[in-house]
């Protein structure tokens, strides 16, 4: 129940599918999005896949009166595609690029070219410090044989890590975006459990939209039904999550989605459905700021769940590490072959004896040069690929290291064993510290 | 003056120059570093340029009793080179890779291959939450014509941003590393002013080490005097910074550096001098946690300084943006030329009329193929370079955007104008908000 002090906050999130010259009706759809946003009067708008600067500028111009504050996050080759529009002044912005994000040679998928990331903006809402996050994770192209699963798991891990570490001073946290994960997927569970963020769809009593909250539906004319298989009706991969604090309690009053069409138009806003959440902010009484403490059982349950989730995540990352090692090895082997052939050609060209031997069965000169050039190209490509997969490998290993550390800490907490207060002034040796979970 | 409740903390920082097969006496020096650390009993050890896994494992093994907790940050092609060893349990670790870090084709400098970053570890020290940061910024190869200055300024900006956003819950903050910046360089000033971190060298009354706290000195046998010019005696580019909080006051009791040699050995630990700081932690009385509030004048002065620093940083970043644009344009032009030549060759090979025309003045077949292959290589290299410089450009523009936002916020604060408390319940239009510093 809203009190006289309570505030309302309307949040909008949409993956705009703004790939100019590729996405259908891109310019018209941005006009429709601009119209909707300036009319509907949302407080905070979180957009993904706004790739073109022209579209960003168009939206900034259109929304200059209703949403005077905005930030467009730049990253990768073509940008991060992330943008925030707000009625409230944006005081600070911070971007964290995910350490892995697909492969540049998978041009048909193209995720690598958009530097996928999580963007944060800080704003004051009614005297409360709000940290607003917008993100977009790597797409899933084939659920049965998902080559990008380790990358997406690492992105989800880094997303929760970033939110946990940067939201400490926040009174309220909102995260919106296209996670490219189903609600029960590992990354989603990890994100919710570790950050304590609550999903608007499961939290609200008043939902109006597609069946099961789907945001990618067969009814959308831009969607190819084949893409959705085996989920013919649709999938839920776009989310708005929220979390209050001791200073403010948050509730989701209602959530709605568009339903594959736009009134009075032949096509919808995007290939994704838009989410609109109506949040209620109830500032807590300063006298009773403590809130209800979490029971020991609840806490243990949450810790155990987190340990399981991190362990599951590590398994996926290890698969990724193995694949990256294989790919790096393959690049090294190809490069080695290219180099060997190139050296052989150089030897034939330079060493008199070899040249004479070659002259007995003359090697066509054109083919000789062509083969040499081909070897050089092969070597060049192999070097670039080797560098890329080495970076991928290091990033995956880094995520695995951080997960191992987190799992050890959680297990320690779960065991109820506490780190002895190191009263030891300098010189005292903390031999009583548990070294079993040390990192080596 | 230390009270009975006070604690002592000994922190060590060293750039280890651990490039196997390139750095001189690498294995022997790591043995010396291991011996020193296990003997000297530092609480926290912050290392840079530990590139080889073998050296990390050696140190972990050697320090397993004295420093049972450690974390090695992985990033880039060959790693970040950053490592932390600690007497206290490390609860969590987080890595932020800088968005720009030199150029892969500057192989002779090699910074790009080490994914330069800032690593954070969290630990509890005597019931206090400590956030410990270790970093290494891009090297400066020529001070007069420093091509990497925009990159280093962006790295310093991201470093302070990361520390500010992730240290909110911390009772104490320590940052150590090789900043590759002189104390009065823009990045250093920006870092100190925006984070409030204090430099051990300027804060301590008891310093024992090289003149002016230099950490790169002519006396070090691994240093080529030419590298130091025009600072013949040396430069100070390695630092230990610290900051307390309302819960704990911090002081630097003493600071020392090595002085270009190691007792009983023919060569020193590294080409950099090691730093050892002795910090005193005095927990504050909970009753008087407020501390002395900053005077209005002091605060205004600090804000004005920050505005100037951010403006100065933006100027440097703009130079970087211009250079990146030029380089990207150059890559595109080269690629275009390669493509045009390749198409011309294809046309000669495919179109009968052109082939006949060519036959009148026969084009040597071998040269024809060779030229084609060369064009293809050129095109391939140009594409890779274009992608790289596009990413660089986006990262620099992103930093500039964040700086612009921060400068606007600081100026707003400086003007004393406050954002009107948005009591406006949903539907009310915040027309009274100052839209002059909006981002468009």
Q: Convert the pLDDT of each residue in A360-396 to its tens digit.
A: 666 677 777 778 888 888 999 999 999 999 999 999 9
Q: Hey, what are B331's tokens?
A: 């890559």
Q: Report if residue B378 sits inside a domain.
A: yes
Residues of B in contact with A50 (CB under 8 A): none
What b-and-e string marks burial along A229-267, b requiring 16 or more CB atoms within 10 Å of the CB?
eebeebbbbbbbbbbbbebbebbbbbbbbbbbebeeeeb
Q: Hey, what are B158's tokens?
A: 């991201």
3-class state of residue A161 by DSSP: helix
Cis peptide bond upstream of A42, omega within 30: no
Chain-centroid distance, C-alpha B243: 19
- Specify whether the CB–CB gap between A97 and A71 falls below 8 A: no
Nearest of A140, A299, A153 to residue A231 by alpha carbon = A140
Residue B193 has pLDDT above 70, yes or no: yes
Domain ends where: B248, B268, B283? B283
B404: nearest CA partner in chain A: A92
Residue B402 and residue A417: Cα distance in Å, rounded? 43
Residue B327 and residue B330: Cα distance in Å, rounded? 5
Higher pLDDT residue, B343 or A419?
B343
The pLDDT assigned to B226 comes to 81
Interaxial angle between packed helices B186-195 and B296-350, expressed in degrees from 0 to 180 and rounded to the nearest 10: 130
Does the CB of A75 have a partner CB in chain B at under 8 Å? yes
The alpha carbon of residue A297 is apart from the nearest alpha carbon of chain B, in Å, by: 22
Chain-centroid distance, C-alpha B215: 17
Q: Hey, what are B303's tokens?
A: 């804000």
Q: Report if residue A205 sits inside a domain.
A: yes
Q: Hey, what are B53's tokens?
A: 């896994």
The alpha carbon of residue A26 is apart from the nearest alpha carbon of chain B, in Å, by: 21
Q: Are A239 and A330 in the same domain?
A: no
Mean pLDDT is lowest, of A55-64, A207-216, A244-253, B371-380, for B371-380
Q: Are A203 and A344 in the same domain?
A: no
Residue A432 has pLDDT above 60, yes or no: no
Contacts of B315 (CB under 8 A, 6+ apart): none
**What pTM was computed for the model?**
0.91
Does the CB of A381 have a partner CB in chain B at under 8 Å? yes
Residue B188 has pLDDT above 90, yes or no: yes
Selecting among B272, B361, B402, B426, the annotated active-site residue is: B272
Q: Hey, what are B33's tokens?
A: 């570093």
CB-based contact A89 B429, cutoff 8 Å: no
Residue among B89, B115, B368 minimizing CB distance to A394: B115
Residue B85 and residue B45: Cα distance in Å, rounded? 5
The pLDDT assigned to B114 comes to 92
The pLDDT assigned to B238 comes to 97
Q: Are A250 and A321 in the same domain?
A: no
Q: Active-site residue B424, yes or no?
A: no
Give the CATH number, domain containing residue B77.
3.60.10.10
Mean pLDDT is lowest, of A7-21, A222-236, B71-85, for A222-236
Residue B216 has pLDDT above 80, yes or no: yes
User: What are the φ/ψ torsions at residue A201 (nearest 5 degrees)?
Assistant: -65, -45
Q: Report if residue A288 sits inside a domain.
A: no
Q: Are A63 and A141 in the same domain?
A: yes
| Mean predicted confidence (pLDDT) in B365-393 | 88
CB-based contact B10 A426, cutoff 8 Å: yes
Mean pLDDT is lowest, of A51-55, A285-289, B436-440, for B436-440
Q: Are A277 and A315 in the same domain?
A: no
Interaxial angle between packed helices A296-350 and A149-166, expressed in degrees from 0 to 180 and rounded to the nearest 10: 130
CB-based contact B373 A368, cutoff 8 Å: no
Higher pLDDT residue, B181 or A358?
B181
The pLDDT assigned to A316 comes to 96
The domain of A378 spans 308-352+367-417
pLDDT band at B360 (very low <50, low <70, confident <90, very high): low
Q: Report if residue B422 sits inside a domain.
A: no
Residue B333 and residue B129: Cα distance in Å, rounded? 54
The pLDDT assigned to B196 comes to 96
Q: Are A47 and A188 in the same domain?
A: yes
- Specify whether the CB–CB gap between A173 and A279 falls below 8 A: no
- Specify whether the CB–CB gap between A283 and A128 falls below 8 A: yes
Place of tokens 């991060």: A80
Contacts of A169 (CB under 8 A, 6+ apart): A129, A131, B168, B169
Nearest 5°: the CA angle B313, B314, B320 is 95
Residue B6 and residue B29: Cα distance in Å, rounded? 35
Q: Report if residue A433 sits inside a domain.
A: no
- Specify whether the CB–CB gap between B241 and B192 falls below 8 A: yes
Q: Hey, what are A340's tokens?
A: 């060997």
The alpha carbon of residue A403 is apart from the nearest alpha carbon of chain B, in Å, by: 9
Cis peptide bond upstream of B94, omega within 30: no
The pLDDT assigned to A344 comes to 87
Q: Report if residue B435 sits inside a domain.
A: no
pLDDT (tens digit, 9 = 90+) per residue, A271-284?
Answer: 999 999 999 999 98
CB-based contact B76 A391, cutoff 8 Å: yes
Residue A349 has pLDDT above 90, yes or no: no
Residues A363-367: contacts with CB under 8 Å, at least 24 apart: A365/B365, A365/B366, A366/B365, A366/B366, A366/B368, A366/B369
Residue A137 and residue A239: Cα distance in Å, rounded? 12
CB-based contact B426 A41, cutoff 8 Å: yes
Tell me the longest C-alpha to C-alpha distance in chain A.
Answer: 99
- Specify whether the CB–CB gap between A273 and A220 falls below 8 A: yes
Half-sphere exposure for B193 (CA within 13 Å, toward CB): 23
The alpha carbon of residue A227 is apart from the nearest alpha carbon of chain B, in Å, by: 29
Nearest of A42, A35, A41 to residue A10 by alpha carbon = A42
Higher pLDDT residue, A163 or B373?
A163
* Partner B, chain A 143-172, Cβ-Cβ below 8 Å: 161, 165-166, 168-169
User: What are the φ/ψ torsions at residue B432 (nearest 5 degrees)?
Assistant: -80, 0
Residue among A68, A88, A426 minimizing CB distance to B43: A426
Residue B209 has pLDDT above 60, yes or no: yes
- Classify residue A295 by its DSSP letter: P
The pLDDT assigned to B171 comes to 96
CB-based contact A438 B377, cutoff 8 Å: no
User: What are the φ/ψ torsions at residue B53 (nearest 5 degrees)?
Assistant: -60, -35
Residue A44 and residue A30: Cα distance in Å, rounded? 17
A423: nearest CA partner in chain B: B126
- Specify whether the CB–CB gap between B250 and B244 falls below 8 A: yes
- Specify whether the CB–CB gap between A92 and A71 falls below 8 A: no
pLDDT (tens digit, 9 = 90+) per residue, B47-65?
Answer: 999 999 999 999 999 999 9
- What single string gives the DSSP state of each residue in B144-207? TT-TTHHHHHHHHHHHHHHHHHH-TT-SEEEEEEE--S-TTSHHHHHHHHHH--EEHHHH-S-E
Q: Are A261 and A314 in the same domain?
A: no
Q: Report if residue B401 sits inside a domain.
A: yes
Q: Which percentage of chain A shows pLDDT scores above 70?
A: 88
Residue A315 and residue B65: Cα distance in Å, rounded? 30
Residue B122 and residue B170: Cα distance in Å, rounded? 9
- What single string gives the DSSP state of each residue in A49-76? EE--HHHHHHHHHHTTTT--EEEE---B
The pLDDT assigned to A278 comes to 97
- Active-site residues of A: which are they? 272
Q: What number of H helices and E strands is found in chain B?
A: 9, 15
The pLDDT assigned to A224 comes to 85
What Cα–Cα distance (Å) separates residue B361 from each residue in A369, B304, B324, B341? Answer: 21, 73, 43, 19
Does the CB of B349 have a partner CB in chain A at under 8 Å? no
Mean pLDDT is lowest, of A85-99, A411-425, B262-276, B282-296, for A411-425
Q: Are A38 and A168 in the same domain?
A: yes
Residue among B93, B127, B422 minimizing CB distance to A88: B422
Residue A172 and residue A250: Cα distance in Å, rounded? 8
Place of tokens 């595609």: A81
pLDDT band at A4 (very low <50, low <70, confident <90, very high): low
Q: Are B100 and B195 in the same domain?
A: yes
3-state SS of chain B: helix, strand, coil percent to 5? 40, 20, 35
Does the CB of B387 have a partner CB in chain A at under 8 Å? yes
Residue B141 and residue A314: Cα distance in Å, rounded? 40
Q: Are B124 and B159 in the same domain?
A: yes
Q: Which percentage of chain A shows pLDDT scores above 90?
A: 72
Residue A357 and residue A348: Cα distance in Å, rounded? 9
Q: Report if residue A409 sits inside a domain.
A: yes
pLDDT band at A425 (very low <50, low <70, confident <90, very high): very low
Q: Are A278 and A405 in the same domain?
A: no
Mean pLDDT is lowest, of A296-300, A331-335, B128-132, B312-316, for A296-300
Three-state SS for B2-40 is: CCCCCEEEEEEEEEEEECCCCCCCHHHHHHHHHHHHHHH
Q: Are B313 and B206 in the same domain?
A: no
Total of domains in chain A: 2
| Mean predicted confidence (pLDDT) in B351-372 | 69
Other beta carbons within 10 Å of A354: 13
3-class state of residue A417 by DSSP: coil
């Amino acid at each position: 129940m809203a009190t006289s002090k309570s505030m309302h906050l309307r949040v909008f999130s949409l993956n705009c599918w703004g790939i100019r010259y590729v996405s259908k009706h891109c310019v018209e759809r941005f006009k429709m999005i601009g119209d909707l946003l300036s009319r509907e009067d949302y407080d905070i708008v979180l957009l993904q896949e706004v790739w073109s600067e022209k579209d960003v500028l168009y939206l900034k111009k259109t929304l200059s009166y209703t949403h005077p504050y905005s930030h467009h996050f730049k990253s990768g080759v073509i940008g991060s595609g992330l943008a925030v529009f707000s009625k409230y002044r944006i005081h600070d912005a911070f971007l964290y690029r995910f350490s892995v994000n697909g492969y540049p040679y998978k041009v048909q998928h193209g995720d690598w070219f958009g530097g996928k990331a999580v963007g944060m903006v800080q704003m004051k809402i009614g005297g409360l410090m709000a940290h607003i996050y917008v993100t977009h994770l790597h797409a899933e192209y084939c659920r049965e044989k998902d080559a990008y699963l380790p990358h997406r798991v690492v992105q989800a891990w880094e997303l929760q890590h970033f939110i946990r570490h940067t939201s400490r001073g926040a009174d309220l946290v909102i995260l919106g975006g296209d996670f490219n994960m189903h609600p029960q997927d590992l990354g989603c569970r990890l994100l919710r459990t570790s950050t304590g963020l609550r999903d608007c769809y499961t939290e609200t009593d008043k939902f109006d939209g597609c069946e099961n909250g789907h945001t990618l539906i067969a009814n959308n004319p831009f969607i190819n039904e084949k893409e959705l298989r085996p989920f013919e009706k649709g999938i839920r991969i776009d989310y708005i999550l929220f979390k209050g604090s001791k200073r403010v309690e948050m509730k989701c009053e209602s959530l709605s989605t568009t339903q594959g069409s736009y009134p009075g138009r032949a096509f919808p806003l995007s290939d994704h459905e838009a989410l609109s959440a109506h949040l209620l902010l109830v500032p807590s009484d300063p006298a009773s700021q403590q809130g209800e403490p979490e029971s020991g059982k609840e806490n243990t349950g949450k810790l155990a769940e987190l340990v399981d989730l991190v362990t599951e995540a590590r398994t996926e990352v290890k698969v990724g590490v193995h694949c990256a090692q294989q790919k790096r090895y393959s690049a090294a082997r190809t490069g080695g072959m290219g180099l060997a052939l190139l050296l052989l050609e150089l030897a034939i060209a330079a060493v008199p004896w070899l040249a004479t031997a070659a002259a007995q069965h003359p090697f066509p000169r054109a083919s000789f040069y062509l083969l040499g050039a081909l070897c050089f190209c092969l070597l060049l490509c192999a070097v670039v690929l080797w560098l890329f997969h080495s970076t991928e490998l290091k990033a995956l290993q880094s995520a695995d290291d951080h997960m191992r550390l987190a799992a050890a800490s959680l297990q320690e907490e779960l065991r109820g064993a506490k780190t002895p207060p190191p009263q030891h002034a300098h010189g005292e040796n903390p031999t009583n510290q548990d070294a079993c979970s040390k990192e080596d």
